[in-house]
Amino acid sequence: MKQSPPPAQQTPRWHAATRWVRCMACRCRKDIINTAGIRTTWGSRTMANNVPDADAVAVKRLKDAGAIIIGKTMTSEFAHKLLTDAPLFGATRNPWGLDFTPGGSSGGSAVAVAAGLGPLSLATDAGASTRLPAACTATVGMKPTLGVIPHNQVPDGFNNFIHLGVMARTVRDAALMLDVVGGPHQADPHSIGVAPVGAVAGINGIVKGLRIAWRPLVGNTLLDDEVRKACEASLETFRSVGCTVDVIDEAVENAEPAWRILQQSNWAARFYARVDEVAPQLDESFVEGIRAGGGYSGQQLLQATYKRTQHFRMVQGWFAKYDLVLTPTMSRPPLSVDHKALDPITIGGKDAGDMRQSWVPYLNMFDLTGHPAISVPCGWNKEGLPIGLQIVGPWYADAKVLMAAAAFEMAQPWAGRIAPHAPAR
């Protein structure tokens, strides 16, 4: 539906989609994914009047399958941070607690699904952006293997680590969506030769005998007690369905420093030459990232790509012994909705420093390595805020990841619990 987002002064207290429609054939799109004839703003004043001429590949595939677009969903400006507020529209609030963020940058997609505005939403994930909002809103968020969903909007198809992701209330719905949007396309070199996922066909497979590694820390040192308790209770659920689960406590290097150089260099390549001109229109934290990216040397950039390869080889090595890896999705529950992207965070009352390094070390790692990963709800804390569990698999084991998630959902269902601030149904 060709309806533009409302101006900032008309934005509701938590803005999710441009139109509240409930229909099992309806899908929402993150506002950085091109939709022909429908404004795609990237949450930025600099793109306020951008109307793409063509759909992104994934959008076209959904339309061809009969999907109805009901609206564009909120993102942080150019999807640059782990929160969902932007200069053009303001802040998106979490339907599980209006004083809290739904995470980012696909927070609008997550809220649209959690609040029942539509059963599915198309998102992106470059460093957390599908899985973190899913964990913050008790929804399912999957980042498939790099290239399984072709991404024809990225300027660098070869060194890309920006994935498209799927969001839904249930694992089966996520699998259905992945089967529609996945598959090779000439515009994305990572997608060429990729076989169909067969996600729906695979989710009823046998999980008995799967070897699972639980890694409570992935480059971080702090983990909220309630998050740990909920995730470790979930381990017993996997054991109850016949999986073996080993606890792995070896130290892992945090992936964020390499991720930061790669992503900030990406931003700088687009904006640094005119940063002084556009800075007054942009989010302050985005401007800082652009300026930082403009200061890296070619050697630093290449060293970050080397480090990315090291991370890939390490993670791939985990699957020589294990079929799947489990981690928390985030190290603490959702932050305050007015938390600033550049401000440090606390975990369990302790100073934890940089938000991306300490809140989501479990997420940017697998963006760099390209492994499939899904976040599923595994509990709620004492304040009623959701907690997410991440399931990670080898490259192209997307169906196995979904199969394990579906078995967990069957044993420990979540979809019947409705967010207290969702619209009346």
Active site residues: 30, 105, 129
- Which tokens hold the place of 378? 């595994």
- Which tokens hold the place of 267? 């931003």
- Which tokens hold the place of 164? 């498209």
Query: What string of H, E and C letters represents the secondary structure of 401-423?
Result: HHHHHHHHHHHCCCCCCCCCCCC
C-alpha span between 57 and 81 (Å, rounded) = 25
Determine the distance from the C-alpha atom of residue 129 to the mean position of all C-alpha atoms in its chain, rounded to a whole number: 3
Q: Which residues contact 425 (CB under 8 A, 6 or more apart)?
A: 22, 116, 418
C-alpha span between 369 and 359 (Å, rounded) = 19
Torsion 81-86-91-96 (CA) sign: negative
Determine the distance from the C-alpha atom of residue 332 to the mean position of all C-alpha atoms in its chain, rounded to a whole number: 16
Contact between residue 246 and residue 214 where contact means Cβ atoms under 8 Å apart? yes
Residue 278 three-state SS: helix
> In 3D, which of 166, 174, 168 has the Cα closest to residue 125?
166
Q: Give the DSSP letter string of 26-90.
A: EEEEETTS-BTTB---TT-GGGTT---SS--HHHHHHHHTT-EEEEEE--SGGG-SSS-EETTTE
Residue 93 three-state SS: coil
The residue count of the chain comes to: 425
* DSSP assignment letter at 424: P
> In 3D, which of 117, 209, 125 has the Cα closest to residue 160?
125
Helix, strand, coil % (nearest 5) of the chain?
35, 15, 50
C-alpha span between 135 and 334 (Å, rounded) = 9
Torsion 264-316-166-330 (CA) sign: negative
C-alpha span between 164 and 19 (Å, rounded) = 23
